[in-house]
Structure 1
Amino acid sequence: QGKSEFLIASLHLCGNTGTYVDSPRHRFRAGTDLAGLPLERLADLPVVVADVTGIGRPIDPDALPDTDLRGTAVLLRTDFSRHWGTDRYFSANPYLTAAASRRLVEGGPALVGIDSLNIDDIADLSRPAHTSLLGAGIPICEHMTNLASLSSRAERLHAVPIAWVGGATFPVRAYVIAQD
């Protein structure tokens, strides 16, 4: 009587688990950490879907949308997430070329996401997409799913990790809200 019961749990995981956001600190030791990312780069972002399903790999600048990207969440729809849970998911992933990454940086999106294992070619250890985007302060959301369900209606993305001081990457529950 008069007692309450609460479950207090601890969590131990890799920051690159499930769908997650990379902060600039992921690539650059002195880069902005998760706690320093402004919410304006993570929440309530207008969505621009780049349907690159027919491109395969690599994704070149010509495949990117020719529209105003400033302040948007550019989501690269490859449909590669259909391979999740198979060996195929961990090889031959669709990825942005260095030139495509630079074009995105020039466009000024708030965030770039992809429904693939990695935004870079995993065989290229220089990681040009991570280097360009994170170097410009643009967070990356990887391992996204269900991008095929997005329509042409006005939609807004939310993909906010915890504000972890010193943290470089962390899982998010990325979701899109359709605007009426």
Structure 2
Amino acid sequence: MSALASEPSTRCALVDLSHDVWQDMLIHHWMPKPVIHDYISREQSAKFLEGGVSFQQVHVTIAGSTGTILQVPFQFHADGPDLATMPLEKLVDVPVVVIDAVGMPEIGPEVFDGQDDLAGKAVLFRTGQDRLWQTEEYYENTCYLAGATIKHLAKAGPALIGVDSKNTDCGTDQGKPAQHELLGAGMGVLTSLTRLDQLPKRGALLTVLPPRVVGMSSFPVRVVAVVPEGADTEGAGR
């Protein structure tokens, strides 16, 4: 039996950490809603194809910060990598560290107690805000990273930062310190994640691959975690 046909030695679970995106979904009041429509419908294509064959082609108009998104340094720093040039080692098979931040409107540096070696990791903050997805409250009340937390992360050097709320910054802070400093340190920032309670605190691997759009700095993405068989997910993120 070839190596390709053999059974893998370790089975894994795949956890999708992304929200769906659809036509006219609820989003922040200042953003345009997604527009998704056929520019060639199945009915139209059936008229010029033969034998009952048909296909669909879709046109999508969407803001870069719709749904679960990845922000890359170019968003706040013109000399930083955009979606097309973000280093793959920061996006593929990145070891995950889940940080419990439930009930913390301001996420302080005390959440890192006992959490060493964050360099090159995907540090994901579980706030529980994803339970409010598609409600007005999701956009009105959000958790954010405290200044000391931002400094700690900038020094620790993760590859990715992620939250299951809509932002890493306080909505009234127009300096946007988390996004400005963490993106400036070369990290990617993921927002509006979900299902972080299905991950172990450590041991999972994260992959997020945006389209290679030149000159674009954020985009809806599908974020997938690979959880090895036997990983302890009991009380994950708690």
Task: Tell me which residue corresponds to 2:214.
Answer: 165
TM-score (norm 1): 0.92
Whichever structure has more strand as a proportion of its residues is: 2
Residue 162 of structure 2 aligns to a residue whose secondary structure is strand
Residues 71-82 of structure 1: pairs in structure 2 closer than 5 A: 71-82=120-131
C-alpha deviation, 1:4, in angstroms: 6.5
- Relative distance call for 1:153 and 1:97 in structure 2 (3 A) is closer
Q: What is the rounded CA distance, in whole Å, between the counterparts of 1:8 and 1:30 in structure 2?
A: 35
Task: Report 1 or 2 for greater relative contact order, CA contacts < 8 Å, sequence distance ≥ 6.
Answer: 1
* 1:3–1:87 Cα change, 3 Å: closer
Structural RMSD (CA): 1.7
> Distance in 1 between the 2:201 and 2:177 partners?
30
Q: How many residues align?
A: 179
User: How far apart, CA to CA, are the structure 2 residues paired with 1:29 and 1:21?
Assistant: 17
2:174 matches 1:125: yes
Matches within 5 A, 1:131-170: 131-152=180-201, 154-170=203-219
The separation in 2 between residues aligned to 1:158 and 1:26, in whole angstroms, is 20
Which residue number corresponds to residue 94 of structure 1? 143
Q: 2:108 matched to 1:60? A: yes
- Which of 46, 51, 54 aligns to 2:95? It is 46
**Unaligned stretches of 5+ residues in structure 2:** 1-49, 230-238
Residue from 40, 43, 58 that aligns with 1:9 = 58
Identity of aligned residues (%): 39
Q: Is 2:98–2:202's contact at 8 Å kept on the other side of the alignment?
A: no
Distance 2:202 2:110 in 1: 23
What SS does structure 2 have at the residue aligned with 1:175? strand
Structure 1 runs not aligned, ≥5 long: none
In 2: Cα distance, 1:3 partner to 1:149 partner: 43
Give the TM-score, by structure 2 length.
Answer: 0.71
Q: Max radius of gyration: which structure? A: 2
The alignment partner of 1:88 has SS state of helix
* 1:97 positional shift: 1.4
Runs of 4+ in structure 1 deviating by more than 6 angstroms, as ranges, are none
Q: Structure 1's 15 and 95: CA in aligned 2 closer, same or farther, altered over 3 A?
A: same
Q: In the aligned structure 2, how far is the partner of 1:153 from the partner of 1:37?
A: 24
Contact 1:153/1:178 (<8 A) preserved: no
Shift of 1:92: 2.4
Shift of 1:133: 0.4
Are the counterparts in 2 of residues 74 and 111 from structure 1 also a CA contact under 8 Å? Answer: yes
Give 2:170's aligned amino acid: D
Residue in structure 1 matching 2:68, options 19, 23, 27: 19
**Amino acid of the residue matched to residue 71 of structure 2?**
D
